[in-house]
Structure 1
Amino acid sequence: MLVKRFIVAATIFATVLVGGLSVAGAQSERRAVRVWMTTGDQKNLLTEQPSSALMAPVAGAPTVTIDPSASYQPIEGFGASITDSSAHVLAASPHRDQIMRDLFDPEQGLGLSYLRQPIGASDFVAGPQYTYDDMPPGKTDYPQQHFSIAHDEAQILPLLGEAKRLNPNLQIVATPWSPPAWMKTNDSLIGGRLIDTPAIYHSYALYLVKFIEAYRSQGVTVNAITVQNEPQNRTPSGYPGTDMSAAQEEKVIEALGPMLQAAGLRTKILAYDHNWSEHPNDVANTPPDETQDTNDYPQEVLSSPAARWVYGTAYHCYFGDPSAQSTLHDQFPTKAIYFTECTGSLSSNPATTFSDTLHWHTRFLTVGAVRNWARTVITWNLALDPSGGPHNGGCGTCFGVVTIDPQTGQATPTADYYVLGHVTRFVKPGAVRIGSNVAGNIWNVAFRNPDGSIVLLANDDDWGTGSQTFNVRLGAREFSYNLPAGAVATF
């Protein structure tokens, strides 16, 4: 089960639900504005605030004006990843079912609605690294005769099925960290490139199609797929990864698109799946034939013939800033934008990890990425143990949405639980982003739900100790609110 503070919540991010107002100045029945807040000191954790906290407008205060007439992207969902490690710690907990309800039930829990699932091993595995068609050294399997998802049937797929039963609106994007080693230049899951032959591209596309079909046979629909996690991470630290140039990604997509179509699969292909800007470490390791990809990788793919098969582009948070998404959207406005990975990680001062994560992930993900056209916000591991594991290589300071105690099986929410909860509990399937302005230190994003209700997520982007009073205006309605430094609120 979740410890008590998992249920109570107050982030210094405030979420405001303005009920009954579907258009500015509407004179239909109005409900009172309600506000939930989380603060960095954890005294408020998605906690509903008293109505007295809402005040009359303050002259001269920054004003956030919500504009329902300005509509942007549809919102598809928010969530995390049931990695092999997450499945391992969840399956071992005697409170698994309650934890899953708390995370996925849209009525009684957070209502997480989008998962990113590794295709084979990532760095977060509880055992050896694997793919679904591993062969002995020197052996190949171009027709994928040995393909099997038996590994996932033990723990991952039962949890995915449970998540889907709890939230029927749940969607999944799937991502490989590495093709099978026999397809690669170094015969290893770690590093190397895909062998540059038509037969390998065809076999790899077949591998991905077989994965989608195998998951479908287990009742799990894969709504979208990328063909390589972080393709410019050429030297992963002891975990699966592949150096895949834009030119190679295009060849994979050109093989995969027609194969999906022929199989009658409606899975969307997303390009890139890496940072807002190329990390300096990746730039330093760029081979001569990939220099044109630096900071222009998604543009390369979307400008190629492969673009006809590409639905959109996926981004991560580990370098750059979310404005890269708007730059790409302006260049390719018919292609969707997804945000697919950002892990929580221990701060240099562990005592500030909660407040740092709450602030940064709201500012740059649930506000920043969404203001820059993202249809999803996905963090990383759904659940890990207190040491940030198990993991096999890669990150040693990461944490999940919840931390599960191996002795008691109880789950404790991390800051990312509240970051996600400030949107998942209020922004419903079919919502769209609508207009709002950044005012003073108040970074925010607004949504209109299918029932016409308006949601405003606000973050005081002040790393100091001072609070910020600001006004919120929606048509003829206006009020003010005092938000503590670094806090998150949903109205």
Structure 2
Amino acid sequence: MKRVVSSALAGVLLVGLTAACSGVGGDSASNQVQVWLTTADKSKLLSQEESVKLTSGEDAQAGGIVLDETTKYQQMDGFGASMTDSSAYLIASKMSEQQRETLMDQLFDHEQGIGISYMRIPIGASDFARTLYSYDEMPAGQTDPQLANFSIDHDKEFLIPTLKQALAINPDLKLMGSPWSAPGWMKTSESMIGGGLKPEAYKPYANYFTKFIKAFEAEGVPFDAVTPQNEPHYVPDNYPGMRMEPFEQAEWIKGNLGPAFEKEGIKSKIVIWDHNWDEYYYPMTVLGDAEANRYIDGSAFHGYAGEVDNQSKVHDAYPDKNMYFTEVSGGAWATEFGGNLKWDMHNLIIGATRNWAKVVLKWNLALDEHYGPTIGGCQNCMGFVTIDQHSGDVTFNSDYYSIGHASKFVRSGAYRIESGPSDEEGIEQVAFQNPDGSIALIAMNSAGEERELHVRHGSKSFSYKLPAGAAATFVLPAAKT
């Protein structure tokens, strides 16, 4: 039996979600388009609205957005955020059991929440951690090339139990691991802060990855993918980071990481770059190394610099490789809800997926009322939710709703499909066909006034008046066979 969910999300949790998302129902349901709406003024927050009718034959609206599932693009893995050490700590230790169960349902359950289906996990400490830690730190001047002191005990307290709870709620949830730094003794700085990877540490560091993946898997937490290094072209001075040039990344992958995964039978994908849109030459350089290329699944991008369409430049050069969008953060520098909704829709939900991303993630899943805990770095970042450390009360931020417009309705294994052109000025949109045949169309009205969408699917069509600055998800039932 599902747990009762707090009134904070009463607009999100409505009767009939399962039928709407699966496309099942009677004859009347087969002609109904389910609608979920979020408005710029927050009067509607992922609110299920009255369904609209699909008309057919002579009544069908001509033109507008044409949905065509016969033209398919990338297959989707999911949408979500990062479960940092800070996020897991807050969820696991600063909430009552009832508060925690309710929040986890609101985050990971498709019926009672937004059904997050992909998460990124720091391998060791990031800036959003309670302490500076790796899985094999050594006293100054000592090394451990055999990794005899390797241990994930730090993460057994909060991170692993929280991940296991998420996986129990959504078994389709996939995870990606990303390190902010190798253990200090492996680096030129002799510290997790600053420096690069020593050549003599290439092999031990590859083995460090295999140990990490196997140790988490033994705890019931498997990893779909890893990246060699978070933000390899940014080396902060007050939290973990590590410089890694493209030739170094290629050399390490082809000479150490890829062979180590092969030897140990590890199936986790290797995804390169994991940094901003502006330096798209980096993944293209790494992929240009034929020996490294064969071990690489794709490239990951962040959204702090550059333009999203640079993803397509990498895809066009290497169309057999996958594309991931893995990080951008909301924060106190941008608190206008409507503006945040518009940015996320334009750049991530619509922009990143139309530029081939099969995964779209934002940064922290949860932070506290002081934008932490943090050991450095960003001091005013915000997560999907804010958890009050004293009461355990939860505030839902704009990320929750923008990502929710996709994660709740686009299931793992869905394909992005052809959807266009659009006649309506100011309307941006993207569409996906789920494994069960239902179609999710996500649209954003970036205009300053109400716009009417006209959508056609085969011989049927519907129209909908979308308020200025609003986002909507439309779920069309699977066609009858």
TM-score (norm 1): 0.88
Does the CA contact (< 8 Å) of 1:58 and 1:471 recur in 2? no
Deviates more, 1:435-444 or 1:252-261: 435-444
Does the CA contact (< 8 Å) of 1:9 and 1:44 recur in 2? no
- Map 1:314-333 → 2, pairs under 5 A: 314-333=300-319
Query: 1:221 aligns to what?
Result: 222
Query: 2:171 aligns to what?
Result: 168
Does the CA contact (< 8 Å) of 2:32 and 2:54 recur in 1? no
Query: 1:108 aligns to what?
Result: 112
Does the CA contact (< 8 Å) of 1:2 and 1:410 recur in 2? no
* Aligned with residue 363 of structure 1, among 340, 346, 352: 346
Query: 2:373 aligns to what?
Result: 390
1:299 matches 2:284: yes
Query: 1:122 aligns to what?
Result: 126
Q: CA deviation at 1:391?
A: 1.0
Unmatched 5+ stretches in structure 1: 11-16, 22-26, 279-294
Distance change in 2, residues 1:55/1:5 (3 Å): farther
Q: Distance in 2 between matches of 1:208 and 1:19?
A: 38
1:140 matches 2:143: yes
State the SS of the aligned residue for 1:117: strand
Distance change in 2, residues 1:119/1:482 (3 Å): same
TM-score (norm 2): 0.90
1:66 matches 2:52: no
Q: CA deviation at 1:405?
A: 1.6
Unmatched 5+ stretches in structure 2: 14-19, 475-481
CA deviation digits over 1:318-341, x for unaligned, max 9?
111221111111110110111111
Q: Distance in 2 between matches of 1:153 and 1:116?
A: 17
1:447 matches 2:451: no
| Identical positions, percent | 45
Q: CA deviation at 1:9?
A: 4.4
Q: Distance in 1 between matches of 2:454 and 2:377?
A: 44
Q: CA deviation at 1:29?
A: 8.2
Distance change in 2, residues 1:59/1:262 (3 Å): closer
Does the CA contact (< 8 Å) of 1:471 and 1:480 recur in 2? yes
Q: Distance in 2 between matches of 1:3 and 1:245?
A: 48
* Aligned with residue 456 of structure 1, among 441, 455, 463: 441
CA deviation digits over 1:203-253, x for unaligned, max 9?
11011111001101111101100010011113x151111111001111221
Q: Distance in 2 between matches of 1:268 and 1:19?
A: 29
State the SS of the aligned residue for 1:40: coil
* Aligned with residue 161 of structure 2, among 146, 158, 162: 158
1:401 matches 2:402: no
Does the CA contact (< 8 Å) of 1:386 and 1:405 recur in 2? yes
Deviates more, 1:102-111 or 1:69-78: 102-111
Query: 1:345 aligns to what?
Result: 331
Aligned partner letter, 1:192:
G
Query: 2:95 aligns to what?
Result: 93
Q: CA deviation at 1:60?
A: 11
Q: CA deviation at 1:272?
A: 0.6
Does the CA contact (< 8 Å) of 1:19 and 1:454 recur in 2? no
CA deviation digits over 1:261-281, x for unaligned, max 9?
111110100011111113xxx
Q: Aligned residues, how many? A: 455
Q: Distance in 2 between matches of 1:53 and 1:192?
A: 60
- Map 1:231-250 → 2, pairs under 5 A: 231-234=232-235, 236-250=236-250
Query: 2:16 aligns to what?
Result: none
Q: Distance in 2 between matches of 1:47 and 1:321?
A: 31
Does the CA contact (< 8 Å) of 2:69 and 2:433 recur in 1? yes
Q: Distance in 2 between matches of 1:3 and 1:347?
A: 29
* Aligned with residue 149 of structure 1, among 148, 152, 159: 152
* Aligned with residue 187 of structure 1, among 187, 190, 207: 190
Q: Distance in 2 between matches of 1:457 and 1:48?
A: 14
Q: CA deviation at 1:58?
A: 12
Q: CA deviation at 1:479?
A: 2.1
Does the CA contact (< 8 Å) of 1:64 and 1:471 recur in 2? yes
CA deviation digits over 1:292-346, x for unaligned, max 9?
xxx4100000000211100111111111122111111111011011111111122
Q: CA deviation at 1:116?
A: 0.3
Moved over 4 A (4+): 17-21, 52-62
Q: Distance in 2 between matches of 1:120 and 1:454?
A: 39
Q: Distance in 2 between matches of 1:211 and 1:258?
A: 16
Does the CA contact (< 8 Å) of 1:19 and 1:30 recur in 2? no
Query: 2:455 aligns to what?
Result: 472
Q: CA deviation at 1:140?
A: 0.8
CA deviation digits over 1:150-171, x for unaligned, max 9?
1000100000111111111111
Does the CA contact (< 8 Å) of 2:54 and 2:461 recur in 1? no
Query: 1:487 aligns to what?
Result: 470
Q: Distance in 2 between matches of 1:434 and 1:45?
A: 26
Q: Distance in 1 between matches of 2:273 and 2:379?
A: 25
CA deviation digits over 1:66-99, x for unaligned, max 9?
1111100001011111101101111121111221
Query: 2:251 aligns to what?
Result: 251
Q: CA deviation at 1:408?
A: 1.8
Q: CA deviation at 1:142?
A: 0.8
Deviates more, 1:147-156 or 1:49-58: 49-58
Does the CA contact (< 8 Å) of 1:18 and 1:33 recur in 2? no
